Amino acid sequence: MMVYLNGKLIDETAACISFDDRGFLFADGVYEVVHIYSRQFFEWDRHMARLQRSLEGIYLPHVDNDELTQGALTLLDRFDGDEGMLYLQITRGVHPRSHAFPPQDVAPTILMWIRPHQSFSAETIQQGVSVITVADDRWAKVWIKTIGLLPNVLAKEKAHKLGVFDAVFVRDGMVTEATSANIFIVRQGVLQTHPVTNYILPGITREVVLELARDRQMPISLEPFSVEEMYLAEEVFLTGTTTEILPVTQVDNKRIGTQAGGVSVSLLEALRQRAYSVS
Ligand SMILES: Cc1ncc(COP(=O)(O)O)c(C=O)c1O
């Protein structure tokens, strides 16, 4: 596989990153993941806009979007599948370890690759997945898409150890999001998800789902919801670039609704229709 590293396409076996890279030492970097449908990047501009916000959030000087786009397109040219994922990571570069930022002339490390991606099977979507709730012990700048994902990793591992698909974070009794996805409920016919605050990642898929729901005149509420409200919801589903829209049919061992949701499945159809029609 070829990867893009600091302006060059190189074989993955030749790609080396210094142990002094601040991404490695401090998780001092940000990332994006972009879904490729029919060999086209889905919602590229939105991903690039969020990346720039994340870069501003960690005070990393502007990285040229055109250069990133060119690099991503070159990788896409070499990719021989139809569906895949682009991973893009930018760190504050290489400098002898010291907490303070290095001088301004230290170049960021820019790394990208594309790997094939398999969406969830129709069977998984129909059955839905199970999740647990966990305390949201992450920092207060969750809106930055930082590579520092240890709380998410630990929560996901806890879920897997308990034999369920994912963990859902709860802060002050209110549900924020999952370890790598946003979360929606349908309650009395109203689609509800956490508002964009410091405490969630403003998901691109979340935005697209809200647009699709508005197009369908579905009532929407952008108010936080409690764990109890989630237990009583007609539907619960996760949204994300790799997740797309994934029904949740069990939370903390409690069955949600009566079947893998009509709303989530119809929104997933609409999402895929949009993804394949723009590509
Ligand atoms: C913590 C978290 N929330 C939400 C999302 C969903 O964001 P998006 O739809 O942009 O993939 C992700 C995606 O990686 C995530 O890591």
Q: Which residues contact ligand 1 via a Cβ below 6 A?
A: 33, 152, 177, 180-182, 201, 203-206, 239-241
Q: Tell which atom from ligand 1 comes closest to the C-alpha of 208.
A: 9
**Residue 36's beta-bridge partner residues?**
41, 84
Distance 181 CA to ligand 1 centre (A): 4
Tell me: the pLDDT tens digits for 24-72?
A: 999 999 999 999 999 999 999 999 999 999 999 999 987 999 999 999 9
Q: Is the pLDDT of residue 279 over 60?
A: no
**Residue 109's beta-bridge partner residues?**
91
Cα–Cα distance for residue pair 117/5, rounded to 1 Å: 21
Domains annotated for the chain, with CATH where assigned, are 2-116 (3.30.470.10), 122-278 (3.20.10.10)
Q: Is the pLDDT of residue 97 over 60?
A: yes
Mean local confidence (pLDDT), 249-269: 89
Q: Is the pLDDT of residue 259 over 70?
A: no
Distance 206 CA to ligand 1 centre (A): 8
Q: What's the DSSP call for residue 13?
A: G
SS3 of 54, please? helix
Q: Is 145 a catalytic residue?
A: yes
Cα–Cα distance for residue pair 72/112, rounded to 1 Å: 7
